[in-house]
Amino acid sequence: MPTPQATAAQVRPTQGERVSASDAAADGRLTGDGTRAAAATTGPLASDQTSPAGGTGTPAPAGATDQTAHIGEADQHHPVGGADHQRHPVGGADHQRAAAEAAASPGGTVTAEARGRPTPPSALGSHLGGRHLAARRRRRPVWPVVFLGYLALAFLLLNDAWRDPGSRGFGTSDATLFSWYLGWVPHAIGNGMNPFVTDLINTPYGVNILWSTPVVLLAVLVAPVTLLAGPVVALNTLLTLALAVSGIAMYAAARRFASPAPAAVAGLLYAFSPYMVGATHGHLHLTFAPFPPLLLILLHDVVVRGRSPRRVGLLLGVAVAAQALISEEILATSALVGALALVILAVRHASAVRARVGPLAQALGICAAVAGALLAWPLHQQFLGPQRVYGAIQPHDVAVSDLLTFVVPTGAQRLAPDVALRHSDGFTGNAVEVSAYFGIPLLVLLAVIAFRLRRDPLVGLLSPLFVVVALLSLGGHLHVDGRVTDVWLPWAVAQDLPLLGSALPSRFSLYLTMFAGLLLARWPETARWPARQAWPRRAGTVLVLAAALVPLLPAPMRAEPLTTPAFFTGPAVEAIPEGSRVLIAPYPRAENPSAMLWQAQAGHRFAIPGCYCTVPAGPDGEAEFHGPSSPLTDALLMTEAGLLTPEAALALPGLRAAYQELAPDAVIVGPTRHRAELIEVVTGLTGRPPVEIGGVAFWPLTF
């Protein structure tokens, strides 16, 4: 038995020594019968090994593999620092003495403190005396500070909208769409209506909104803001919170493998990556992305830590149901990436993973049961309800990562020279979907980390996973500098699958930034420097990280007007009876859905024809993003575009029959292009002049 003056190295248990059952049980590494699972103690998935690849820790016993930097918590590894940290993993002589005292405890068992992990303050007793407060301070959570930092950066990034959050937003058309959903869901629930199917837009045909992006759960959570300040303020609130919430989820996942500072960098990269910056332009369902890190945490719990499959399955089922009511696309792609990760893990660590197959299957089974029960009604409405869409929603081989996307910046980056923009502007797809930019410095750093730490199991998992997911992001055919080649790629198989085929390959960049963040966080955790070199090398690490991340700095974001005429927000709109059918110009469609925002600001008191929404079209029910066309819609849209004079519009065959079939209770012409011409067309259809009120031309017809 060592004396109180023994060194921490002398009392540190080797891989072959037993640990007390109470300490092991606290870490969740015991099997059901109270014995230690072999895979959790000596296999490559164990979480309490302390000698990273290439390090100078205790040598592994004979017969052990060389992969000793096991996938586990960062606090169980030597932190970055000098010789003192190498000798005393928790932090110096105080812990040396505490370890020796713990080793001398009755029974000779080795407690958590002796193994370099903090114990609860009550367990410290009088051993540390005045150092008790210091231990409590070390245990104080850091994540609230990190979260507030992310939130402050999110406000800074989106500050242009917060100058007038009720009438400004990012991504005009999509922002209007999400504003409508944020208003519709609480309106429907509050009035006992079906929140998933409605005929208030695209009347009289209706819409099954689950085939669009309704963010039902977020709409419920933000309902107080919507009711008090309106749907546009609610949207800006959620976009801001989405960045911070996604970042702190990534921080929590990275803390499994890194100390707070590197984990905070991982969260920073994830929350403010080119993917996130692009998604904030109206794509709320893609910006709110805490689910992938949460999935990593839960899989880590059951596969690595050996936590209760029932507990993990229950939590995962709730998380899956919640994510399905925010974005089914992220849910589907997360499942695919998670499956790929498990396959790679099984190939690299077959024997250890084999021992976890049973618990993993049990957890996934419970997850399926819980999620299925919670999602029974919405899934029934989506797949068996009216206005179901068939086939892929998005076109293939458009929104993909160009081969040059990874190294050529776009207009979304602050550092984007004209020579780069001449290339990136030619990439296929919407500009906000070109989101896989990493820059040459960061890619080089990631490659160096992957090579230097190739024996670290976490790095050994993430490196091939990064390559595979990057390959999927390229789409079904290789794009090079905006040209679509005939080179076949694996996504060509996935794009023909139900549901998953509607996912956009370029959005896999979300997972690439997640992997990159974990690699960056893992890198400093494996470094061990002599005390005299600690600070210079730490400073060098910070400089290298800064040089790699600076090219990703986002350009200033400019908000766009999301204004509503006073008619819809004042008492004048109450002249329209509840449930009326109102024809509004500009006629709502994907390019200009302003009428949907005005309807939402009016409290959804009337129905409108047309929409920016996903509806079935044609005999096979293929997806369209607007309602059916008719001579009436043609007349309004072409007049607004200046392609028809009022006289020519009124002479269109079938115009008056289409108008009579719609039978609107009122017609409104709001601010738009060629407004005077549109007023002339509607006056010709109704046979009466309008009333100008609250910034609109108003024709009450049946009241």
The pLDDT value recorded for residue 394 is 87
Q: Looking at the predicted structure, is the pLDDT value of residue 120 above 90?
A: no
Task: Count the Cβ atoms, other than its own, within 10 Å of residue 656.
Answer: 14
What's this model's pTM, rounded to 2 decimal places? Answer: 0.82
Most confident of 70-84, 106-120, 206-220: 206-220
- Would you say 6 and 33 are in contact if contact means Cβ atoms under 8 Å apart? no
Q: Identify which of 563, 614, 584, 592 has the alpha carbon closest to the alpha carbon of residue 173.
A: 592
| Distance from C-alpha of 182 to C-alpha of 562, rounded to nearest angstrom | 15
The pLDDT value recorded for residue 138 is 58
Helix (H) or strand (E) holding 382: helix 376-384
Q: 3-state class of 686 per DSSP? A: helix
The pLDDT value recorded for residue 76 is 41
Across residues 606-613, what is the average pLDDT? Answer: 97
The pLDDT value recorded for residue 68 is 34
Q: Round the average pLDDT of the chain to a whole number and report it.
A: 84
pLDDT tens-digit series, residues 271-310: 999 999 999 998 999 999 999 999 999 999 999 999 999 9
Q: Looking at the predicted structure, is the pLDDT value of residue 196 above 70?
A: yes
Helix (H) or strand (E) holding 38: helix 38-41
Across residues 123-152, what is the average pLDDT? Answer: 63
Tell which wins on pLDDT, 28 or 583: 583
The pLDDT value recorded for residue 525 is 83
- Indicate the range of 77-86, 187-196, 505-514 predicted with least confidence: 77-86
Q: Identify which of 205, 286, 48, 15 has the alpha carbon closest to the alpha carbon of residue 614.
A: 205
Both ends of the chain: CA-CA distance in Å? Answer: 95
Q: CA dihedral defined by 242, 247, 252, 253, rounded to 10 degrees?
A: 100
Residue 617's pLDDT band (cuts 50, 70, 90)? confident
- Would you say 506 and 434 are in contact if contact means Cβ atoms under 8 Å apart? yes
Residue 536's pLDDT band (cuts 50, 70, 90)? confident
Across residues 196-208, what is the average pLDDT? Answer: 96
Instruction: Considering only CA atoms, give the Rg of the chain.
Output: 30
Identify the DSSP state of 106: G
Q: Please tell me the total number of residues recorded for the chain in this structure.
A: 703
Helix (H) or strand (E) holding 492: helix 491-494
Where does 255-375 have alpha helices with state H? 260-271, 274-279, 284-287, 291-300, 309-324, 328-348, 350-354, 357-374
Q: Looking at the predicted structure, is the pLDDT value of residue 119 above 60?
A: no
**Single-letter residue type at 180:** W
Q: Looking at the predicted structure, is the pLDDT value of residue 123 above 80?
A: no
> Phi then psi for 485, rounded to 5 degrees?
-95, 175
- Would you say 697 and 669 are in contact if contact means Cβ atoms under 8 Å apart? yes
- Indicate the range of 25-39, 590-604, 663-677 predicted with least confidence: 25-39
Tell which wins on pLDDT, 685 or 85: 685
Q: Looking at the predicted structure, is the pLDDT value of residue 14 above 80?
A: no
| Distance from C-alpha of 625 to C-alpha of 589, rounded to nearest angstrom | 7
pLDDT tens-digit series, residues 415-469: 999 999 999 999 998 888 999 999 999 999 999 999 999 999 999 999 999 999 9
Q: Looking at the predicted structure, is the pLDDT value of residue 55 above 70?
A: no
Q: Looking at the predicted structure, is the pLDDT value of residue 95 above 80?
A: no
Q: Looking at the predicted structure, is the pLDDT value of residue 136 above 60?
A: no
In the chain, % of residues over pLDDT 90: 72
pLDDT tens-digit series, residues 361-413: 999 999 999 999 999 999 999 999 999 998 888 889 999 999 999 999 999 99
Q: Identify which of 330, 325, 336 has the alpha carbon closest to the alpha carbon of residue 290.
A: 330
Across residues 241-268, what is the average pLDDT? Answer: 97
Q: Looking at the predicted structure, is the pLDDT value of residue 571 above 70?
A: yes
